Amino acid sequence: MRVGPIQAAEAERFKRVAWPLMPVVLRAAQCLTGNAAQAEDLAQETMIKAARAIHSYRSGSNIKAWLLTILRRTHIDWLRAEQQRPLKLSIDQEGVEMADRSNTLGGQFDGRWSQPEELMSRFEDETVIDALRGLPDDMRWTLLLVDVEQMDHADAAAALDVAVGTIKSRSHRGRAMLRDRLFERALKRGWIDAKEQPA
């Protein structure tokens, strides 16, 4: 990454190909931080780094994946600096207990409500984002890229520097964990019939 001023042609290229995706970067930053001011700072720092590195962007490659990779690395740098948590997080490190790790069908509570996917679509964005923030980093990043930003598995894998199979597995497990986190809220809102509630 360059430390000095960028050339006029590079500034123009950044403005043309990267700047229009500032809302995407800001939305991802808000999902990661849960704080509007921190999200703006994180997004701004990401875009500054992207402007300085625009010469390394290969035309025709996925600009969204490129920017979100820079965002991810910037966020990791922030976490390191603040010493809030380790660089690499796993489900076990976060202390998240999965009710049944061998369960490949879905979340712990999926059998207690009909059509969990349809119910999830009824939640407002802020509620889903709040539940998403509670997931371990690897799951949160995967769902953010695949479900929120609609990136394909290959681009998400490249952005997170993992195998495509890992993205598929994390997507499946992450969605199940997200449904489990939203189950109680669905109960409180009366979206689940009494017959579907746990005994």
Q: Where are the domains of the chain?
A: 8-82, 110-194
Q: Which fold has domain 8-82?
A: Rna Polymerase Sigma Factor; Chain: A (1.10.1740)
The class that CATH gives domain 110-194 is: mainly alpha
HSE, CB side, 13 Å, CA atoms: give it for residue 91. Answer: 11
Same fold, 8-82 and 110-194: no
HSE, CB side, 13 Å, CA atoms: give it for residue 35. Answer: 5
197 or 102: which leads in pLDDT: 197
Please name which of 13, 166, 149, 128 lies closest in space to residue 69, comparing C-alpha atoms. Answer: 149
Tokens 């993992």 locate to: 162
**Of 16-30, 69-83, 179-193, highest mean pLDDT:** 16-30
Whether 127 shows a pLDDT value over 50: the answer reads: yes
Q: What is the mean pLDDT of residues 62-76?
A: 93
Range name among 48-62, 108-122, 180-194 with the lowest pLDDT average: 108-122
80 or 21: which leads in pLDDT: 21
* Nearby residues of 174 by Cβ (< 8 Å), 6 or more positions away: 135, 139, 140, 142, 143
| Predicted model pTM | 0.67
Query: In this predicted structure, what is the pLDDT of residue 196?
Result: 47
Please name which of 122, 140, 107, 111 lies closest in space to residue 186, comparing C-alpha atoms. Answer: 122
The gap from C-alpha 115 to its chain's centroid, in whole angstroms, comes to 24
Please name which of 126, 138, 22 lies closest in space to residue 146, comparing C-alpha atoms. Answer: 138
What is the per-residue pLDDT across 6-44, written as a single tens digit (0 to 9) for each?
A: 788 999 999 999 999 999 999 999 888 888 889 999 999
